[in-house]
Structure 1
Amino acid sequence: MPSIPGKYQHYKNENFDDYFIAVGVPYIPRKMMAMSSPLMEITLDGDMMTIKSSSLMRTLENTFKLGEEYEERMPNATIKSTTTIQNESEMVTNSVINETGDKCGRHYFFTDEECIVTLTHDKAKTPAKRYFRRVE
């Protein structure tokens, strides 16, 4: 079974632009996100997890207790999220956007070589996917 903690380098997107159009992200931020290639670092210390995403544009870091609600601050919204590990190769974050009440989520699927993050949102008919290669 793959280990969840590690460093992962983004290498491709799937349905990314259509997803963020449906969610209502403006053109320029949408294009900037699509062009970014973040490094995602996941660490786990007991039941405390940190997910750090670093790119040329910005660095986002969230530390939280697995299974407990926490807040994520985005440029235009605050999101209440809960992250759980489903099994040794899957992790799920279920979220509600405070300002709109929309539900969204991230499903992380880990293999020995990569992590695939599937993004879902009430307003998007089709999820988006981001692919990351394991680098450590």
Structure 2
Amino acid sequence: MPSIPGKYQHYKNENMEEYFGAIGVPYMGRKMMGLSSPLMEITVEGDNVSIKTTSMLRTIENKFQVGAEYEDPMPGITLKSVTKIVNGNELVTESVIPDTGVKSGRHYLFTDDECVITFTHEKTPMAGKRFFKRVQ
């Protein structure tokens, strides 16, 4: 079974600009996110998970406890999220956008070689994907 902890380097996107456009992210924000190629480092200690994402512009570290609600900072907004570990090789995050109740999600699927993150949003059937190669 693949391990979740590790370092992952982004190498490609699939439908991300279209996905961000569908959920209302402004043009410049979509372009900047699409051009970024961050390094993601994930650590797991018991029920505590840390996802640290480093790009040329900034470093964001998100720490949370599996199964517990937490504040999930995103550019321009902070979501209320809950993340579960599924099948030992998946992180599933369900989020609610404050003041609107709109739901979104991120599904991290880990293999021996990579992590694929699928982004979903209840306002659009379109999903976006980011692909990361395991580097450590």
TM-score, length-scaled by structure 1: 0.97
Q: Deviation string for 1:69-124 (max 9, x for gaps)?
A: 00012232110000010012211000001142210000011100000000001122
1:88: which partner in 2?
Answer: 88
| Matching of residue 13 in structure 1 with residue 10 in structure 2 | no
1:125: which partner in 2?
Answer: 125
| 2:131 partner SS | strand
The separation in 1 between residues aligned to 2:3 and 2:93, in whole angstroms, is 18
Check whether the contact 1:51–1:61 (CA below 8 A) recurs between aligned residues: yes
Q: RMSD of aligned C-alpha atoms?
A: 0.9
Q: Deviation string for 1:16-73 (max 9, x for gaps)?
A: 1110001100011110000000111100111100001110112111111100000012
The separation in 2 between residues aligned to 1:24 and 1:132, in whole angstroms, is 25
Q: How does 1:44-123 map to 2 (within 5 A)?
A: 44-123=44-123
The separation in 1 between residues aligned to 2:37 and 2:70, in whole angstroms, is 26
1:43: which partner in 2?
Answer: 43
1:135: which partner in 2?
Answer: 135
Per mean C-alpha deviation after superposition, the further-off stretch among 18-27 and 72-81 is 72-81
Check whether the contact 1:95–1:105 (CA below 8 A) recurs between aligned residues: yes
TM-score, length-scaled by structure 2: 0.97
The separation in 2 between residues aligned to 1:88 and 1:12, in whole angstroms, is 24
Check whether the contact 1:77–1:99 (CA below 8 A) recurs between aligned residues: no
| 2:124 partner SS | coil
Give the letter aligned to residue 47 of structure 1. D
The separation in 2 between residues aligned to 1:26 and 1:35, in whole angstroms, is 14
Large movers: runs of 4+ above 4 Å = none
Which structure 1 residue ranges, 5 or more long, are not aligned? none
